Amino acid sequence: MAILLTGGAGFIGSHTSIELNKAGYEVVLVDDFSNSSPEVLNRLESITGQKFPFYEGSILDKDFLRGVFEKHQIDAVIHFAAFKAVGESVSEPLKYYHNNITGTISLLEVMKEKGVKNIVFSSSATVYGMNNVSPLTEDLPTSATNPYGYTKVMMEQILMDVVASDPEWSVTLLRYFNPIGAHESGLIGEAPNGIPNNLMPYITQVAVGKLAELSVFGDDYDTPDGTGVRDYIHVVDLANGHSLALKHNLEQVGTQIFNLGTGNGYSVLDLVKAFEAENQVAVPYVIKERRPGDIATCYADASKAKEILGWTAQKDLHDMMRDSWKWQSQNPNGYDA
Ligand code: WQD
């Protein structure tokens, strides 16, 4: 069974390739390195002892994609490749709509040409928008508050419409909550370009001395300590969720939607305190204004993935804090030497 991972050198894609390899799948990676590093491929070989087939290129290039499908008997695709910075999507919407939406359409058109009708899609809890109340269930209406979020909502709709047009397609939408942590080896992890938008890489870069202090975006939310509450999930748990979702996808037709979260909510200050306690390293912070577009609380009802996929998150906050720090402390400059 050959599985094509678009964006396979990225944070989630690289961790998923390890778990798929463990589960016995042949993994084929595609990436344009727009938000990842070629060094990831060397790290994957160090971890697994195998050199995964890799092709550098963009999913916008249909001839490039056709070439990959002609070299491998692809049974299913896991589609990670997308831009994902909320703030950048507001300042550069056309870049986001072209890369994420046109890229997905290009991929689906080549899959259709090649008769490959199984896809697992990297979606996001961001599709639950501002008006749904946690714990969030998969049947809730979707919406968005920024172009990045709208690309996820639209890509989900495109995929569901493809299934409606041809019931032989099997589409699995995986809605990630907040992925953090890293592989236990510390060899791969989250390496955002430039100043991190997300909380966890910002915390680890403060801890390692690359950044001076954490800005806590608001302490006046309706939450236990006033700071934002999110459902943080270890990236290895998320990767295993993909492996089980893929197995289920290959046994089905139609559309399936699953939350991949822990069902637990932790605040910004919960994370800061847990990180300092677990790793005995200081994370100085200052309270700032709320970040536009943020909601107070977001966490999953993860029961559907448990009931149907037999998947639940196994790693706790200690694991997430320890593994995030092992990655960052061993790689202060990410994948840059
Ligand atoms: C978490 C909490 C912030 C940074 C986003 C996307 C989502 C997914 C994950 C891609 C919030 C607070 C953050 C900082 C802070 N991305 N925070 N200081 O916003 O829940 O989700 O990233 O798939 O789609 O929407 O994650 O890590 O940015 O924020 O206080 O420097 O940390 O206010 O409460 P978010 P986040």
Helix ranges (DSSP H) in the chain: 11-22, 39-48, 62-71, 86-91, 93-96, 103-113, 147-165, 199-207, 235-250, 268-279, 303-304, 317-330
The answer to whether residue 147 scores a pLDDT higher than 90 is yes
Would you say 256 and 171 are in contact if contact means Cβ atoms under 8 Å apart? yes
Give the C-alpha separation, 287 to 37, whole Å.
Answer: 33
Q: Tokens at residue 178, please?
A: 């907040």
User: Can you spell out the DSSP letters for 141-203?
Assistant: PPB-SSHHHHHHHHHHHHHHHHHHH-TT-EEEEEEE-EEE---TTSSS----SSS-SSHHHHH
**In which band, very low, low, confident or very high, does the pLDDT at 152 lie, cut at 50, 70 and 90?**
very high
CA 124 to chain centre: 7
User: What SS3 state is found at 52?
Assistant: coil
pLDDT for 1? 79
Q: Ligand 1 centre from 46 Cα, in Å? A: 31
What is the per-residue pLDDT across 216-263, written as a single tens digit (0 to 9) for each?
999 999 999 999 999 999 999 999 999 999 999 999 999 999 999 999
Give the C-alpha separation, 92 to 76, whole Å.
Answer: 31
The answer to whether residue 47 scores a pLDDT higher than 90 is yes
Residue nearest to atom 16 of ligand 1 (CA): 84
**In which band, very low, low, confident or very high, does the pLDDT at 337 lie, cut at 50, 70 and 90?**
confident
Instruction: Based on the residue annotation, tell me whether 148 is a catalytic residue of this protein.
Output: yes
Each as own residue / partner, the long-range contacts of residues 38-43 (CB below 8 Å, 24 or more positions apart, any chain) are 38/9, 39/335, 40/9, 40/10, 40/14, 40/188, 40/335, 41/9, 43/14, 43/187, 43/188, 43/335
What is the per-residue pLDDT across 62-85, written as a single tens digit (0 to 9) for each?
999 999 999 999 999 999 999 999
Residue nearest to atom 19 of ligand 1 (CA): 294
pLDDT for 32? 98
What is the per-residue pLDDT across 292-303, written as a single tens digit (0 to 9) for each?
989 999 999 999
Catalytic residue among 148, 176, 221, 299: 148
The answer to whether residue 186 scores a pLDDT higher than 90 is yes
Instruction: Count Cβ atoms below 10 Å from residue 14 Cβ, excluding itself.
Output: 30
DSSP assigned state of 125: G
pTM of the predicted protein model: 0.98
Using a 6 Å CB cutoff, which residues line ligand 1? Answer: 84, 86, 124, 126, 178, 197-199, 202, 214-217, 228, 230, 268, 291, 294
Q: Ligand 1 centre from 332 Cα, in Å? A: 21
User: What SS3 state is found at 95?
Assistant: helix
| Residue showing tokens 């200052």 | 286
pLDDT for 64? 98
Q: What is the mean pLDDT of the chain?
A: 97
The answer to whether residue 159 scores a pLDDT higher than 90 is yes
Instruction: Find, among 91, 106, 225, 251, the residue nearest to 170 by Cα.
Output: 251
